[in-house]
Structure 1
Amino acid sequence: MDWTGLELGMAQTRFLHLDFLLLFSALACLVSGETQVARVNEPATFSCDYNIPKKEMASYRVYWQNAERVVQAYVPGKKIEELIDPSYVNRTTAIDLSNNLSVTILSLQVPDEGTYECIVQKLVGGQYKRVHKLDVKLSIRADFSDPNIHEEGFFFSCWRITCSSSKGYPQPKLFWLKDGKELTSFNTTTFQDPTTRLYNIDSELCVNQTNDFSLTCLIKYGDFQVSTNVTLKRDIPFRRTLQPPIIASIVISICFFFIALILYLKRYHCQCPTWLVFRMS
């Protein structure tokens, strides 16, 4: 057996394995990142996880960018204001060179959601080469208002109820729960403001119920939720005040109809003959 060849093959395998690990580690250093969830109108700070030696500051360039938009930059000898995208002017802090090249975005808005890249370049042999890259995914959250449940009325054994909530993000889903069991709404609408991109949601429900019952309006958005619980009672005031006017209006309408019908028949079908009118005169 050729032990020399076997040992040489094993050594090559170990070196290949070591090279693969080094390459994998290098790639991981370039593309590893984190995910952050931040609220609308609050700040968010991103860390690049990289430090530049003070003596070599002039040989480095740093860019924080979102897609093709430059959020903040460090470029010795250039005016940073000329590099930053207009949508981020006066909304970001300067890159903190002493703290992992971190940057802070002030007063977050929904359009700020996305992936942010930190790119570090070093001047080597007269050319800038990338030596570090980090991705940070930002998810925006805006809390919905507490759902407002409103009792519209009691119509023909149907309890009509509405629920609404506003100014939230991401896109919501609304659920009706009666005594813990999900109900089906007959009209749910979602509206997104074209400027702020915040959502409003409204829903209507019709419940065939004559006894007291508990009702919940639940709104889920992303990993968060908000809800309102109410107990609807059979003898609530609006049912006592709402039904009599409806009944009265129906009765009055029927009376007017019959009066009009009688007048019509009396005028066109019960007139006396002309010769009889002349004789009586």
Structure 2
Amino acid sequence: MGTGDSTMGPGIILVLMTLLYSGAAYLKSEAYFNETAELPCQFLNSQNLSLNELVIFWQDQKKLVLYEFFLGKENLNNVDPKYMHRTSFDQSNWTLRLHRAQIKDKGIYQCIIHHKSPTGLVSIHQKDSELSLFANFTEPEIVQMSNVTGNSGINLTCSSEQGYPKATKMYFLLKFENSTELEYDGVIQTSQDNGTELYNISISSYVPYPDGMSNVTIFCVLKMKAMKSREWEFLSKPFYRVPSHPLPVAHQPSWITAASLITGIFLCGMTYFLWKKKKKQRAVLSNKETTRMEKEKNEGIEERVKIHVPESNDKEVQYT
């Protein structure tokens, strides 16, 4: 091979691949459950090689092929059935997209590129990436397990579902009127779905109330690891606990007392008005009924007079 020959020799390729492998580090890739994951290859293609002279494929840690692009064409013959019709190749950035990612898809993937030379296929690039999967838990839900025992405390349970990875912490948070906050742990139970591998979690606890504090808002807090090494915190809807007996009237604000008094006066006035109106209506109806009865009585008397009293111009009856 001459000094002006630009073709790589086997020795140079071997050294290059050794450097690539020795300095290789996993690329980090993250995706949400049931969404699209990206598996990068990071091939620079500094020699502007044509896709028609390259064989590009991705394989998982079990050496199962996800996708293969063979000399300018997709080749499905070597693709494992679990990945069939779940991938697409973005040629602009040398990235493979894995659609409908499942928890079981997490792990190490390899992008491998071969170049077709006169002597056969030569490996020119390999890059490993680690895929992590996440799924947000549902909003935690608090359920009261028994009635309040006086003012001493309450039995509660809280649950959340369909998350990944495992929650790092779950507890009850009490917030009082004077801005005091208290945390209470409990018995945590975790289960995993055999199909989706998503986690369900619940916590049960007896939550006591400090002396002299009756009005309290309770939250259920769930913490989990999220993308980019962050920790997310999920809160339940507030669960309110109020005193088991009504507040004395003397403790009620003055505007509530005034509003109650005005409302009472208004209702009394409306009641009296309606009673007077109904009384007047009954009086009118009674007068009308009396007038009608007197009219009928007079008409009856007139009829009887017409029948039994003879007229003054009647002729004398003749007998033969």
- Classify the TM-score, shorter chain: 0.5 to 0.7
Cα distance, 1:192–1:204 mapped onto 2, change above 3 Å: same
Post-superposition offset of 1:140: 0.8
Cα distance, 1:61–1:30 mapped onto 2, change above 3 Å: farther
* Equivalent residue number for residue 13 of structure 1: none
- TM-score, normalization: structure 1? 0.66
Moved beyond 4 Å, runs of 4+: 22-25, 51-56, 155-158
* Equivalent residue number for residue 219 of structure 1: 222
Matched, 1:63 2:35: no
Cα distance, 1:122–1:112 mapped onto 2, change above 3 Å: same
- C-alpha separation in 2, matches of 1:30 and 1:100: 22
- C-alpha separation in 1, matches of 2:189 and 2:96: 39
SS of equivalent to 2:51: helix
Matched, 1:192 2:192: yes
Ranges in structure 1 where 5+ consecutive residues have no aligned partner = 1-21, 238-281
- C-alpha separation in 1, matches of 2:18 and 2:92: 23
CA contact (8 A) 1:30 1:134 kept: no
Ranges in structure 2 where 5+ consecutive residues have no aligned partner = 1-14, 176-180, 226-230, 246-320
* Deviations 1:155-187 (CA, angstroms, capped at 9, x unpaired): 6544101101111111113222334433120x2
* Equivalent residue number for residue 128 of structure 2: 135
CA contact (8 A) 1:46 1:103 kept: yes
CA contact (8 A) 1:147 1:165 kept: yes
> 213-222 vs 101-110, which deviates more?
213-222
How many pairs align?
213
RMSD: 3.0
Which of the pair has more CA radius of gyration? 2
Cα distance, 1:215–1:167 mapped onto 2, change above 3 Å: same
Between the two structures, name the one with larger relative contact order (CA 8 Å, sep ≥ 6).
Answer: 1
- Choose which of 16, 20, 37 in structure 2 pairs with 1:44: 37
> 200-209 vs 75-84, which deviates more?
75-84
- C-alpha separation in 1, matches of 2:23 and 2:185: 49
1:1-281, aligned counterparts within 5 Å?
A: 26-27=19-20, 31-50=24-43, 56-67=50-61, 68-76=63-71, 80-93=75-88, 95-96=89-90, 98-124=91-117, 126-154=119-147, 156=149, 157-172=152-167, 173-179=169-175, 180-185=181-186, 187-209=187-209, 211-222=214-225, 223-228=231-236, 230-235=238-243
- C-alpha separation in 1, matches of 2:50 and 2:74: 20
* Deviations 1:183-203 (CA, angstroms, capped at 9, x unpaired): 120x22111100001111111
SS of equivalent to 1:165: strand
> 205-214 vs 102-111, which deviates more?
205-214
- C-alpha separation in 1, matches of 2:95 and 2:72: 20
Cα distance, 1:182–1:203 mapped onto 2, change above 3 Å: same
Cα distance, 1:29–1:99 mapped onto 2, change above 3 Å: farther
Post-superposition offset of 1:154: 2.9
Cα distance, 1:86–1:236 mapped onto 2, change above 3 Å: farther
SS of equivalent to 2:20: helix
